[in-house]
Amino acid sequence: MIKVNLLRDQTAQPRKTIARPSASPVGLLMLAMLVLVGAGLGTAWYCLHNQMVILTSSRDRLRLESARLQGLKKQIDQFEKMKAERQSRIKVIEQLKANQTGPVLLLNHVIHSIPTSAALWLTGLEQKGDQVRITGFTARGETIPDFMSNLNATGFFKSVDLELYEDQQKDAARFALVCVVAPKTGTE
């Protein structure tokens, strides 16, 4: 009789076989290519992401600059409009000034001839033909020669003469000047 022990022997441990990986050169080459492609894609994504961030911030900055420049353009247009209005006003004033005749020119020359350093009050201005009579008061008698020389310097008068000078009070003196208007030349 043959006896067969179907139960395993508990004392003997079976040997486990360890599977050793074997690497094929084609598989290693494919793995290396996969790693290189992955690294290349990662690097490309990183560079593109950084460029996108830089370009986005540049775009936002340029939009702000564009908005600022549009505001400045509107201000420039407003200033140009104001400048054109002022130029037209200046042109009208210069045209009116060029068209001034007679009494207006006479008053301009008299007003510009009054000395600013002393008190001088004009009380009358009469024109008869080419003679003009100017009357007034002054606090100091020394201002009358200055006034006369300023009138002569305008070129509007041919001669300026003192007709009357009298002390009214100790602080005021009355005076009268007779001026002869110079004949107009063709250039005026």
Q: Partners of 108 in the beta sheet?
A: none
Q: What is the CATH number of domain 103-181?
A: 3.30.1360.100
- On the question of pLDDT at 150 being above 50, the answer is yes
For residues 32 and 182, the model is more confident at 32
- 162 with 145: CB under 8 angstroms? no
- Model confidence pLDDT, tens digit, residues 23-43: 788 888 999 999 999 999 999
The rounded mean pLDDT for the chain is 85
Q: What is the pTM of this model?
A: 0.45
Please report, for the chain, the start and end positions of each structural domain, with discontinuous segments joined by +.
29-99, 103-181
Q: What are phi and psi of 169, to 5 degrees?
A: -135, 180
HSE (side-chain half, CA atoms, 13 Å) at 14:
5
CA distance 175 to 90: 38
So what's the pLDDT on residue 165? 86
| Cα end-to-end distance, the chain, whole Å | 161
Q: How far apart are CA 21 and CA 102, in angstroms?
A: 122
**What's the CA gap between 163 and 142, in Å, rounded?**
16
